[in-house]
Structure 1
Amino acid sequence: MTMERRTLLKRLGTAGVAAALAGCVGVQSQGDQTAQSGGESSAEGGTDDASAGTAKAWYRLSDTELPAREAALKQFNEQSEHTIKGADISDMRKKTTSAIPAGQGPETFEWAHDLAGDYLNRGFIVGQGDELSLSLDEFTDAAAEAAQYDGNVVGLPHTAETVALLYNKEYVDEAPETVADMKAVMEEHHDPSNNQYGLGMPFADPYFLSAWAHAFGGYYFDHSKDEPLGVAKSETVEGVQFAVDNFVPYMPNDPTYEPQASAFAEGNAAFAINGPWYLSTLNEKGVDYGIAKLPTPEGGEPRPYTGITLWYFSKKMGEGGASAAAAREFIEWYVTNEDLLRKRAEETGSIPVLTSLAESGDLPENVQGFAEAVQQGYPMPAHPKMNKVWDPVKAALTKGFNGKDVQKAMDAAATEIRGNWE
């Protein structure tokens, strides 16, 4: 694709995305069922010759996010000679690891950058740096770095995400700056007998708890360190124990995502710790909320994991041809479409990484809270060994939430991880 063609698509997208998003029809998530979007290209100037390609794009979105994605795909299909067929996938890791090796996967799929090392090593994704019509200089430094692994450009970035503090303005006038201040508010509003809680936070998920596990110098995994596995280190255990002592007493008694997220979304909690994907649910429920960076614990600093969302270049793109060209053109159009990315920021709070937007000073108020939280954190490891860390730590955090000895739980997790690595 020539630079002129990419520039034309970008200009068309900027002019038309607002109308397309406003006029879209909601599409319910169908798990692994394909959510078709557009069929054959019908754009004026589109072609039916051999240069037109059809490609599959997989993603995982909430029901409230799907209409905007369907509208974006429809818009691209109407203005391009190519066709992109979208599908919402309920278990992206499972589906990609089974479908891609069998030649049944998509040309591109959307996920956080932490899959890069494992999927590149297994041949599920490929480098496409030499095929691109744009430069990674168009993105923030962190995003450009996340799009690369072992010298390969494995995808293109479009948003950054992390968890931040959300507060219900009905109960809380302004965001607390310290955990001590936050505890005073939680204490005032926590009344589980009347289905009222101080906080909703998915405690059993290592990603959500990372800010506190890392708050006192601890870490789950860091390949750059002499001891890459930090799960059972005293600093990590201190952080998890801090969360057990200061947050668990004010939370619903189930540490998994849905009960914790529902408490705040239903207006029954003063605070939540969650990510930008959560905002569409809150907007649908009509919650009057604010967003701020995470509060500071005494003697520490919250350091949440951050993720850069990529459109990955799947193995099928390495085979070339019209379908690869279609996927590449769609990805480049999507990640450089300022209006589309701004609209997503307004609706979901996700942080654009296209430099022209990220440094514009013209982002929605809610995005600023997440942007400050991103500055507190650091990117998730993309090294393949990290894949063996998540589940044992999840089990350990669940034990800690349920009153078990945190040090013993984290020791057991470390032993399991080392065994899995071997």
Structure 2
Amino acid sequence: MKLSRRALLGTGSLAAATGLAGCIYHGPFPYTRLEVSVREPFDAEVPTSIPVSVDVFVQGVNSRDATLHGVELVCFDVARRELASKSLGEFAWREADPDRRESTEHDTGWFTTVTTYSADWTVDVSLEVDAVPEWLTVRVADVWFDADDRPRTAVDRGQDGGRTTGAVVGTARASSPPPEVTVSYARLASERPDSGLVEPNEYQSSRLRQHSSLENPFLPRPAAARLGHRRSDDRRERLGADLERFVVDSPYAVDPESSELRRDVVEALDDHGDSPHVVELSHTIAADVANRRLLSDQRDVLGIDLDDAIVSPVAEAGIVEDRIVGVPCTLETVALLYDREHVEEPPETVAELLEIAAHAEDTGYETSGIDYSLDRPSTYAAWVYAFGGYYYDAESDSVGLTGSGTVRGIEFVAERLAPQVTTAPTDPDDRDDAFVNGNVPFAIAGPDVAARAEANGIDVGVATLPKPADADYRPRPFVRADLLSFTSALENPEERDATAAAVAFAEWYVTNEEVQVRNADEYGTVPASAAVADSDELPESAAGFVESATTGTLEPPDSTMRTIYPPLQAAFESVLAGDRAAETALEDAEAEIEGELSGGPT
């Protein structure tokens, strides 16, 4: 008998029997195959219509009941979220057009024959979508090969996955039968287009030969994401355990072998050969890194609303020019730290703070005063903003050092607070950690000082900064956020499949209450998650810094402040030393800054 090309493809190789005992049956087998492809070019501007072809093949052995039931064409974005689907219905040998089906008899070599019943279809459809899909594939409800019209389950197949046929007897069994359903899906293999035509050859076909559950779409397992960090040994071990937990809690994975950065973060991102997909990054340098095209926008993939999920004002910390390049994980700001053993309630006004601090020696402290580092303008920005001043306004792209509020704020710090600071307020190398060592009742500092003081046995309270009586507003400290940032490696077509895992891990890690509360308790970190911030399990000190942050303002990016901070600090120190009036010193500082800015970024 002469066989058609399709029958030859469906039949597979035949082997002669060498005896019934221990013989291996080599086919033919029952199986089905679906192939998805883009039929014609389509417009990349959305909404758009995608012309798709689906080629279908079914084959039964000694049964005319080979059927694919409940077939759907379905497409997904890069995060594997469903964009659109279309029902293709049922593909049954009995229902196929006569000219599209065949029945062929095969000699098994065991003095018996089997008959294959095969049919094929080509279905041309269009999918209406609001985004260019990353994946085009199918979903199948059931595959039937028997007349009893029920799904083929693991029990039907046998524990070894073999399938029996009516012609096979005795101990003969299938050695390596083909899977019951084989799908060739299409994946976008080019750069993601924004305009123009998307050509069919921009979608690459890949075959998925086995699938554990017909209830799910036919897609390969998501690629693992690479995480970049520079943590200490103890925190690295904790992170490794968290990565294992993430794998258990989600269908995604993060590669633990590629996590530690042994060099500068930006250098690691510049190495496109092995760049991480997610990296820990301060929001103050995110703009610089993004402008070097080393970060990627995941606004369309992110599954959480940052305004709802992250505390203000750091919700916007990962946004650069309307691109979401990272999710805020932890935050830092200054607050009023007080020793609760001697100070029952935090002072609500600066006058009350200074009064208690000035007489600390009378209550058993080694010295009077406040532990406060004034070596960086970011640490005393709160008082400038309390008087209505500012350093830099991004919206108007203006420097504000000569404004009356800024002048009043600098004068307040120099004249009212600095005299109460215990030692060398502008020299970080000459500080004595007075609060950490229990020598003064107050500090104006961040989470690191609070954590060290608690480790030293101090019962630390954390409160918002007290308001100066003559200020227009409450103090607004600068707030800095550490981001889980998404790198430009995720824009590489060959690595884009790691996007789902990268974004899912960032969302999971930032919002996981158990992880963030534990980190706050063990390492003194302050969570940026709004839900975690409201948790009753969060340590009181961390909750105090969250409250202080909500009164603050997001610190401007380093790309701007690296030009502003040095002249501003020099002006402040000259005022502190009594060499110059605040107004004059700040006028000269602003003139210097404007000169540098007008010459372009430095």
Question: Are residues 1:287 and 2:454 paired?
Answer: no
From 455, 474, 481, the counterpart of 1:308: 481
Residue 240 of structure 2: aligned partner? 73
TM-score between the two structures when normalised by the length of structure 2: 0.54
State yes or no: 1:83 paired with 2:252: no
Number of the residue aligned with 1:263? 434
Give SS of 1:420's match.
helix
CA deviations over 1:6-35 (Å, ceiling 9, x no partner)? xxxxxxxxxxxxxxxxxxxxxxxxxxxxxx
Q: Secondary structure at the match of 1:352?
A: coil
Looking at structure 1, the residues matched to 431 and 384 of structure 2 have their Cα atoms a distance apart, in angstroms, of 19
Kept in 2: contact 1:110–1:309 (CA 8 A) = yes
Q: How does 1:257-406 map to 2 (within 5 A)?
A: 257=428, 259-260=430-431, 262-300=433-471, 301-319=474-492, 320-321=495-496, 327-347=502-522, 350-360=525-535, 363-382=538-557, 384-405=559-580, 406=582
Q: How does 1:16-27 map to 2 (within 5 A)?
A: none
Q: Which has the higher contact order (CA 8 A, sep 6+)?
A: 1
Q: Quick one: structure 1 residues 143 and 186, their matched pair in 2 at CA, closer, same or farther if it must change by over 3 Å?
A: closer
Question: Does the 8 Å CA contact 1:204/1:401 hold for their aligned counterparts?
Answer: no
Shift of residue 195, structure 1, vs aligned partner: 6.6
Match of 2:416 in 1: 246
> Counterpart of 1:339 in structure 2: which amino acid?
E
Paired residues in the alignment total: 367
Equivalent position SS for 1:115: helix
1:101 has 2:277 as partner = no
- Which structure shows the higher strand fraction? 2
Letter of the structure 1 residue corresponding to residue 594 of structure 2: R
Contact 2:489 2:496 in 1 (8 A): no
For the 8 Å contact 2:261–2:268, the answer to whether it is kept is: no
Instruction: Give the superposition deviation at 1:231.
Output: 1.7
Distance 1:74 1:372, change over 3 A: closer
Decide whether aligned partners of structure 1 residues 275 and 105 sit closer, same or farther in structure 2, where only a CA change above 3 A counts: farther
- Deviation, structure 1 residue 339: 0.7
> Residue 583 of structure 2 aligns with which residue?
407
Contact residue 244 and residue 401 of structure 1 kept, 8 A: yes
* CA distance in 2: counterparts of 1:277 and 1:110, whole angstroms: 18
Change (3 A) 1:256 1:107: farther
d(CA) in 2 for partners of 1:353 and 1:257?
28
Q: Is the 8 A contact 2:337 2:450 kept in 1?
A: no
CA distance in 1, matches of 2:525, 2:557: 20
Q: 1:219/1:312 Cα in 2 relative to 1: closer, same or farther (>3 Å)?
A: same
| Maintained 8 Å contact 1:278/1:348 | no
* Residues 120 and 372 of structure 1: CA distance in aligned 2, closer, same or farther (over 3 Å): same
Structure 2: how far apart are the matches of 1:111 and 1:407?
36
Q: Percent identity?
A: 31
Per-residue displacement from partner, 1:94-115 (whole Å, max 9, x unpaired)?
Answer: x344443354764333234233
Counterpart for residue 42 of structure 1? none
Instruction: State the 1:311 CA deviation.
Output: 1.0
Q: Give the 3 Å change call, closer, same or farther, for CA 387–220 of structure 1 in structure 2.
A: same
The 3 A distance-change label for structure 1 pair 336 and 276 is same
Partners in 2 of 1:337 and 1:223 — Cα distance?
A: 32
**TM-score by structure 1 length?**
0.75
Amino acid at match of 2:255: T
1:70–1:201 Cα change, 3 Å: farther
**Structure (1 or 2) with the greater helix fraction:** 1
1: CA distance, partners of 2:269 / 2:375: 30
Classify 1:416/1:109 alpha carbon distance in 2 versus 1 (closer, same or farther; 3 Å).
farther
Please give the alpha-carbon distance, in whole angstroms, between the structure 1 residues aligned to 2:465 and 2:496: 47
> Does the 8 Å CA contact 2:313/2:553 hold for their aligned counterparts?
no
What are the ranges of 5 or more consecutive residues in structure 1 without an aligned counterpart? 5-48
Gaps of 5+ in 2: 1-78, 83-219, 248-252
Determine which of 331, 350, 353 is the counterpart of 1:182.
Answer: 353
Q: Which residue of 1 aligns with 2:192?
A: none
Separation of aligned partners in 1, 2:347 and 2:305: 40
Distance 1:341 1:261 in 2: 31
Asked if structure 2 preserves the Cα contact closer than 8 Å seen for 1:221 and 1:230, the reply is yes
Q: What is residue 138 of structure 1 aligned with on the other side?
A: 309
Give the 3 Å change call, closer, same or farther, for CA 345–413 of structure 1 in structure 2. Answer: same
Structure 2 counterpart of 1:100, one-letter code? L
The one-letter code of the counterpart of 1:243 is: V
Alpha-carbon separation, structure 1, partners of 2:358 and 2:482: 36
